[in-house]
Structure 1
Amino acid sequence: MSVVATLGPKDTFSDMATQRYLSAQGLSSKVSYFPTLKTAFNAIGNEADWGVLPIENLSEGYVQVVLDGLMATDLFIRDEILLPIKFALVTNCQSLAEVRSLFVQFVAHGQCSEFIESLQGITIHNTQSNMESLNSLEGSKEPAAAVVPQHVLNDWRSDCFKIDNVTDFAHNQTRFLVLGKYPQKINPALAYKTTLVVRDDHDKPGVLGSIVTALSDRRINMTSIMSRPTKSQLGKYHFFIDIEGHCEQANIAAAIEQINASYQVKVLGSYQAAVV
C-alpha cells in the first residue's frame, strides 16, 4: 500500500483534500500526518510515496514554504485539488467577552484577519496547524478561543459560545497540489495545466518580456505568475508560472525551448486542471 504525506493531524483542510482525492481516484493509500508543511514536503519520496500540500489560497495567495520546496525538488506535480474553506470561532466558555486568548494557525489568521482584528483585549497565539489550535483550546485553563475549520465542530460542546464562518471571503477556496516522483502521462481528451519555474541565474535582462513573448506568440494562456527570491543575492528572482495546456503539446514545448535558450526552465508538471 502506498503512503501519502500531508499536514496533520487528522481533520485539517489538508487531510480533507487528501481524503477527497483518495475517494475520487479510488485509492486506498495510507495517510501519514506531519506537524509542518516543510516536514510533510520533505517526506514525499522518502517516508511517503506521494503527498498533498496547499499551494494557493483565494485571499492569501501562494504558500511560500511550498513554493520554496518546489524550487529545489525533483518531485512532479501530478494533480490539483480545489477545496472550499470555511473557518469558525469556538470557545471554551459561554461568551466572547470572557475570552482572553485566541489560538489560530498562521495561514488561517490571514484568511480571517478582518474578524480577528475586530477582537479587543485578546492575546493571539499563532500555531502550525488548525488542529493544534483546537488542541490548544482544549488544553487551556483560562477562557480562550480558537479559529478552526468549521467541519470539525460537529461534536463540539453545545454549551460553549461559537460563531460560524468567520472567514473574510464567502467563497474562500484553497488549491492543493498532489506531488509524486513521476510525471503524469498525457491524455489528449483532458484539459491540462502546466507549472514551470524559470530561473534567472545569470542575471540577463528582459526575463519577463522573454517569457510573455514566447507564450503570447503561440497563443498560450498564462494563468498566473509568481516571483520568489533566489536567496543567493538581493534583487534576483525565480518565476513560477502556470499555463494552460500540457508540456508535450507542440506549441508549449516550442515556447519552453525558446525561453530555455536564455534562461533555465524547469517543468514542475503537467496535470489535469481542476474544475472550479
Structure 2
Amino acid sequence: MSPEPAATPHPPRRTYSYLGPAGTFTEAALGQVPEARDQIWRPVRNVGEALADVVEMRADAAMIAIENSVDGGVSTAQDALATMPGLRIVGEYLVPVNFVLVARPGVRLEDVELVAAHPVAYAQCLQWLSAHLPEHAHLPAASNVASAVGIVDGISDADAAIAPPGILDHYDLELLAKGIGDNPNAVTRFVLVSRTAPSPAPTGADKTSLIVELPEEYPGALLELLEQFATRGINLSLLASRPIGDALGRYRFVIDADGHVQDERMADALLGLRRFSPKVIYLGSYPRADRQIVRYPERYSDDVFIEARDWLRGLISGEPEA
C-alpha cells in the first residue's frame, strides 16, 4: 500500500496595516484588494504607523489615503512617502465619501442637539446639518470612527455622530440619516504601499507616482521640470507642492503622471528628471483605479522612441544612412 502524499502546506498569511479602527473608509479601501481577503488586517492609529509597519516588516503592505476630491492631497501621507525610504505604491483604490448620522438605539433625529464629528467630515456635511438640525452644536472628534465609538462607549456627550457607513457593520447604532454629505460625488483615493519591489507589469491603464525637488530657485525652474513630461506627451493628473522643511520657500513636488515606467516615453522623462533634479523619489507604477486607457499622440509611441535611439546608435557606429 503506497503512502499517502504529504499535505501541501498553506502559505503564511500576509498582514495589511490600515487606519483603524474597524469601519473606516480605509478599511473599505482594503476590502477592494482581492489578495488581502482572508489575510490579517492590522488597524493602526495614523499613516506614519502604517508605513512604519511596512518598513519594519510588521506588515507586508499598508493602505493609506493619498488624495480627496474635495480637500486635495493628504499632506501627512505625501510627506511620509517623501521621507521614509524603501516604499513602493503597488495599487490605487477609490472609495466614495458617504456619511451617515448615527446615535444610540432609541434616539430620534429631533432629539439631537450635539453632533460629534471629525472637523473635515463636519465641514463636508454642514449644509445638511444646517437644513435638518439648524440649532445643533459641534463636538470635534479625533476621527470619523471615534465620533461614533465615543457614543457606543458612553464617553461622549454627543447625541449623534457623523461616521462612515461601514460603522453600522461593527457597532449597534441607530441610523438617523444616510447620504448626508454635501457633495454626492466626493471620492477619496487610497494607495496600497509595499516595500520596494518591481512594479506591476504595464496594463495600458497605468499611473506613475513621483516626488521631485527643484535643483534651486530660479525663474522657470518649475517650467523646466514640467517640460520633462510635456515634451514627451505625458499628462500629469496630480501636481502638488509640499515644503521640504529645511528652509523657507523650499518645496518638493508630488506628481502623478499617466503611464508606466516601462513605457519608453516615461522612461525617457525619468532620465530627464534625474539629470535635472537633485532628488527624484520613484514611488511606483501601478494600474489606475478607473482602468482608463492612457491615450497619447502617435509621435510619442514606444516605436518612435526606439527608432530614434536606433538611428542615433547608427550615427555613432558609422552605419550608412538608408
User: Which TM-score tier does this pair reach, normalised by the shorter chain?
Assistant: 0.7 to 0.9
Residue number in structure 2 paired with 1:135: 149
SS in 1 for 2:94: strand
Asked whether the equivalents of residues 30 and 36 of structure 2 are also in contact (C-alpha less than 8 Å), the reply is no
User: Unaligned 5+ residue runs, structure 2?
Assistant: 1-12, 292-322
1:51 aligned residue (45, 62, 78): 62
Tell me which residue corresponds to 2:35. 25
> SS at 1:203's partner residue?
coil
Instruction: Please give the residue correspondences for 1:44-123 in structure 2 after superposition, counting only pairs within 5 Å.
Output: 44-46=54-56, 47-74=58-85, 75-92=87-104, 94-116=107-129, 119-123=133-137
**Deviation at 1:272?**
0.8
User: TM-score, normalising length from structure 2?
Assistant: 0.76
Structure number with higher relative contact order (C-alpha < 8 Å, ≥ 6 residues apart): 1
CA contact (8 A) 2:261 2:285 kept: yes
Contact 2:202 2:287 in 1 (8 A): no
Q: Offset at 1:155? A: 8.1
CA offsets, 1:127-146, max 9 Å, x none? 33322111112215745110
My pick for the range that moved more, 109-118 or 28-37, is: 109-118
* Aligned mates of 1:112, 1:43 — CA distance in 2: 33
SS at match of 1:40: helix
Superposed CA RMSD: 2.5
Determine which of 42, 49, 67 is the counterpart of 1:39: 49
Structure 1 distance, partners of 2:51, 2:66, is: 12
Number of positions where the alignment pairs a residue of Structure 1 with one of Structure 2:
273
Matched, 1:144 2:167: no
- CA distance in structure 2 between the partners assigned to 1:91 and 1:125 by the alignment: 14
2:75 partner letter: Q
Per the normalisation by structure 1, the TM-score is: 0.88
Q: Note if contact 1:196-1:267 (Cα within 8 Å) is conserved in structure 2.
A: yes
Q: Counterparts of 1:68 and 1:109 in 2: how far apart (Å)?
A: 25
C-alpha displacement of 1:107? 3.7
Q: Percent identity?
A: 27
Residue 275 (structure 1) aligns with? 290
How many Å apart are 1:225 and its aligned residue?
0.4
Given residue 144 of structure 1, which amino acid in structure 2 is its aligned partner?
Answer: D
Deviations 1:133-166 (A, max 9, x none): 11112215745110011243368768x5712111
Q: Are residues 1:265 and 2:286 paired?
A: no
1:8 aligns with 2:20: yes
Checking the alignment, whether the CA contact within 8 Å between 2:14 and 2:39 is kept in structure 1 is yes
Larger Rg: 2
Q: Which has the larger strand fraction? A: 1
Flag structure 1 segments of 5+ consecutive residues without an equivalent.
none
1:64-106 Cα deviation digits (max 9, x unpaired) = 1111101112211111011122101123364445434322124
